[in-house]
């Protein structure tokens, strides 16, 4: 992924989007932003200061949370209307089963091939050994007698 060249306008836009802490920025953007900030310390300090001010104000806003009672009422209302939970991808289970079956079939075929090949190689080695022994020149009886 290539990033656009860092300019003051881009640095300010990124500071507005990601805040005044460069560690929270995307890694590729933070690296080029740090280089730009080192080359332009005054402009970078000004942009980051303004972003930190915005971060501080946003941190003051209370976090909203949904009560359990409201969540239960919404679920009961949906169930009463005939709605039910659905999976993100309805065919995902079937796809996973088919994919799993394919992996199992491939593994079994690999084991069968390996066993067959190993057995055939062992038989070939035995045949080769028997032929080598049969072709070997026999010892003369004279060698034994002397």
pLDDT tens for each residue of 91-117: 777 777 777 778 888 888 888 888 887
Nearest Cα to Cα of residue 6 among 40, 55, 54 = 40
What percentage of the chain reaches a pLDDT higher than 70? 85
The angle that helices 41-60 and 27-39 make with each other, rounded to 10 degrees, is 130
Q: Is 90 exceeded by the pLDDT of residue 50? A: yes
Mean pLDDT of 4-8: 85
Report pLDDT digits (tens) over 69-90: 998 998 889 888 888 777 666 6
Tell me which of 8-12, 105-109, 126-130 is least confident.
Answer: 126-130
């Amino acid at each position: 992924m290539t990033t656009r060249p860092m300019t003051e306008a881009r640095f300010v836009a990124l500071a507005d989007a990601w805040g005044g802490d460069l560690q929270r920025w995307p890694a590729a953007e933070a690296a080029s932003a740090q280089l730009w900030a080192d080359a332009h310390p005054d402009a970078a300090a000004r942009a980051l200061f303004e972003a930190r001010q915005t971060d501080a104000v946003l941190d003051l806003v209370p976090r909203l949370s949904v009560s359990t009672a409201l969540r239960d009422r919404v679920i009961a209302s949906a169930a009463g209307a005939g709605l039910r939970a659905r999976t993100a991808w309805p065919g995902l289970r079937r796809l996973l089963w088919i994919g799993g079956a394919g992996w199992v079939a491939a593994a079994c075929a690999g084991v069968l091939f390996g066993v067959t090949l190993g057995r055939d190689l062992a038989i070939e080695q035995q045949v080769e050994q028997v032929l080598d022994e049969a072709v070997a020149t026999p010892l003369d009886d004279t060698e034994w007698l002397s």
